[in-house]
Amino acid sequence: MDFIGINAYGGVMTDSHVHLATDSDYMPDKIRKSAKLIDHYFPALPVLITEFTFCYTSRNYLNDMVFSSCFLASFLSETMQLVKGMGFFTMSDLSVYYADSGNLFFGGNGLFNYIGLPKPVYHVYSFFRELGTRIIGHTSDYLITTDSNYRFQALFTNYVHINEQAAYSKHNEKLLDTPEQLFESSNTKPLHIQIEQAIPGTYLLKTYTLNAFHGNLLPYWAKCRSLTHLSEQDFQTFKQLAQPAINLHTKTVTDDGILDFSVHLEPSEVKLVLIDYIEN
């Protein structure tokens, strides 16, 4: 054998019914237990997650909203060091587009909708692509990386899991109008970060924010859900609305080599901060 593949979904079987897991650690725990078992019997073989996503159906609006991006950021951070590779299900809603798929968004599992508009979950992969090669800080709230003393990258996640109502709902249509009813209560997370051994000088901090209002097309489409086809101009408008917010500011590091900054995370929010040295 060249590798052992496993898959992971958020479905739980209870009393002959399948529903989504209400435990936010359900899927990471499955991977930890599976990786430990495989390592015990086949220690030399790499483990690949050949297929995973949280929603096991392709008709659940959780797949279209910012929840899935927070889930993915948290899941990747918790499990990426346990396996050699992961395969997300699936690239595009086109692969799950059938006769009942008349809307631009219908709860498909894709990173993109069926005409190529990026969903919030896509941006998480673009955020991870920007991370460095060496991890220098890791908690359930953040992942900090670097590839030199001149460049640092920090990914922050305030993951809010679904409540029981959302776990047992087949499609979660309420996400289109009252999404706050389907999630556990949560608060803003203020975080203060200190990075040591930074080269003294001035750094540019670029912050990309993904939340309910930025990089999340579902609430915009919910206001005009009768739209089933887009002109090229409308497509470009939706594509612009699908982008994360961007903010810039500078930070000076003195001779002590400590680069510090603060981040405030709203519930169900992912932030990427790219920190680059610009001058002494």
Domain that holds residue 89: 4-279
At residue 78, the pLDDT reads 97
Residue 264, both tokens = 């405030």
At residue 99, the pLDDT reads 82
Structurally, the chain folds into a number of domains equal to: 1
32, exposed or middle or buried, with CB in 10 Å at 0-12, 13-18, 19+? middle
Radius of gyration of the chain (CA): 20
pTM of the full predicted structure?
0.96
At residue 101, the pLDDT reads 77
Dihedral angle computed from the Cα positions of residues 230, 217, 210 and 171, in that order, rounded to the nearest 10 degrees: -140
At residue 74, the pLDDT reads 98
At residue 142, the pLDDT reads 98
Interatomic CA distance for residues 225 and 15, integer angstroms: 36
CATH number of the domain enclosing 142: 2.60.40.1500
Q: Which amino acid is at 229?
A: H
pLDDT per 10-residue tile (average), the chain, 280 residues = 95 90 97 97 96 96 97 98 97 92 92 97 98 97 97 98 94 88 93 97 98 96 89 97 98 97 98 95
32 vs 42, 51, 70, 116, 263, CA distance in Å? 15, 16, 19, 34, 29
At residue 253, the pLDDT reads 98
